[in-house]
Copies of this chain bind each other. A is one copy, B any other.
Amino acid sequence: MINKNSPIGIFDSGLGGLTVLKAVRRLLPSENLIYFGDTARVPYGAKSREAVIAFSKEIAAMLAARGVKLLIVACNTASSLALEEVRKISKAPVIGVVDPGARSAAAGNRRILVIGTAATVASGSYRLALKKLTPRALVREKACPLFVPLVEEGWCGKKATELIASEYLAPFKNKGFDAVILGCTHYPLLKRVISRALGGKVKIIDSAEATAAEAKAVLASRCLLNSGRAGRVRFMASDAPEKFRTLALRLLGIKTGRVEIKRF
Q: Interface of A with B (CB < 8 Å)?
A: 39-41, 46-48, 50-51, 54, 145-146, 149-150, 152-153, 155, 158-160, 163-164, 167, 238-240, 243, 263
Q: Is the CB of A51 within 8 A of B240?
A: yes
Give the distance to chain B from A230, nearest Cβ to Cβ, in Å: 32
The CA of A39 and the CA of B51, in the complex, are separated in Å by 10
Q: Is the CB of B47 within 8 A of A40?
A: yes
Known contacts A40-B41, A48-B240; A159 and B163 CB within 8 A of each other: yes
The CA of A167 and the CA of B155, in the complex, are separated in Å by 11
Residue from A51, A146, A155, A160 whose CB has the most chain B CB atoms within 10 Å: A160
The CA of A238 and the CA of B239, in the complex, are separated in Å by 19
Q: Is the CB of B54 within 8 A of A263?
A: yes
Chain B residues with CB under 8 Å of A39's CB are 47
Chain B residues with CB under 8 Å of A48's CB are 239-240, 243
Give the distance to chain B from A93, nearest Cβ to Cβ, in Å: 29
Cross-chain pairs A/B with CB under 8 angstroms, 30 sampled:
A39-B47, A40-B41, A40-B47, A40-B51, A41-B41, A46-B152, A46-B240, A46-B243, A47-B239, A47-B240, A48-B240, A48-B243, A50-B239, A51-B238, A51-B239, A51-B240, A51-B263, A54-B263, A145-B149, A145-B153, A146-B149, A146-B150, A146-B153, A146-B155, A149-B149, A159-B163, A160-B160, A160-B163, A160-B167, A163-B163
The CA of A86 and the CA of B238, in the complex, are separated in Å by 21
The CA of A155 and the CA of B146, in the complex, are separated in Å by 10
Give the distance to chain B from A44, nearest Cβ to Cβ, in Å: 10
Give the distance to chain B from A169, nearest Cβ to Cβ, in Å: 13
Residue of B nearest to A39 (CB): B47
**Which 8 pairs, one residue from A and one from B, show the smallest C-beta to C-beta distance?**
A149-B149, A160-B163, A48-B240, A51-B239, A160-B164, A160-B160, A40-B51, A48-B239
16 additional A-B pairs beyond A47-B240, A50-B263, A51-B240, beta carbons within 8 Å, are A39-B47, A40-B41, A40-B47, A46-B152, A47-B239, A48-B239, A48-B240, A51-B239, A51-B263, A145-B153, A146-B149, A146-B150, A160-B160, A160-B163, A160-B164, A160-B167
Residue of B nearest to A55 (CB): B40
Give the distance to chain B from A200, nearest Cβ to Cβ, in Å: 21
